């Protein structure tokens, strides 16, 4: 995660809960709304971020990717998808 953060310059880790927060990212956004009381940001469109799609229910992932793509269209950011498949 650190290498990805450094190569992309991402400041936000989306999908990390307060328990799994990674200190290499300046901000995190949790899949649990109650984590906002523990420092999770709720306005993810303000930062270049990395989504941990595995953290979200399978039924929500396509919608999240569509929102991410729409959010960064015209902002100079690209949305890239990397899959880490377990066998």
Half-sphere exposure of 71 (CA within 13 A, CB side): 14
Q: What is the mean pLDDT of residues 41-61?
A: 82
Question: Can you give the residue ranges of every domain in the chain?
Answer: 2-72
- At 23, is the pLDDT very low, low, confident or very high (cuts 50, 70, 90)? confident
pTM, full prediction: 0.71
Residue 56 backbone dihedrals phi, psi, to 5 degrees? -105, 150
| CA-wise closest residue to 11 among 41, 42, 50 | 50
- Looking at the chain, the whole-number percentage of residues with pLDDT higher than 90 is 0
Mean pLDDT of 1-30: 82
């Amino acid at each position: 995660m650190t290498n990805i953060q450094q190569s992309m310059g991402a400041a936000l880790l989306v999908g990390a809960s307060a328990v799994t927060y990674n200190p290499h990212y300046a901000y995190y956004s949790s899949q649990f709304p109650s984590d906002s009381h523990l420092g999770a940001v709720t306005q993810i469109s303000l930062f270049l971020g990395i989504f941990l799609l595995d953290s979200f229910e399978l039924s929500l992932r396509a919608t999240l990717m569509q929102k991410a793509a729409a959010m960064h269209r015209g902002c100079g950011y690209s949305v890239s998808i990397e899959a880490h498949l377990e066998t």
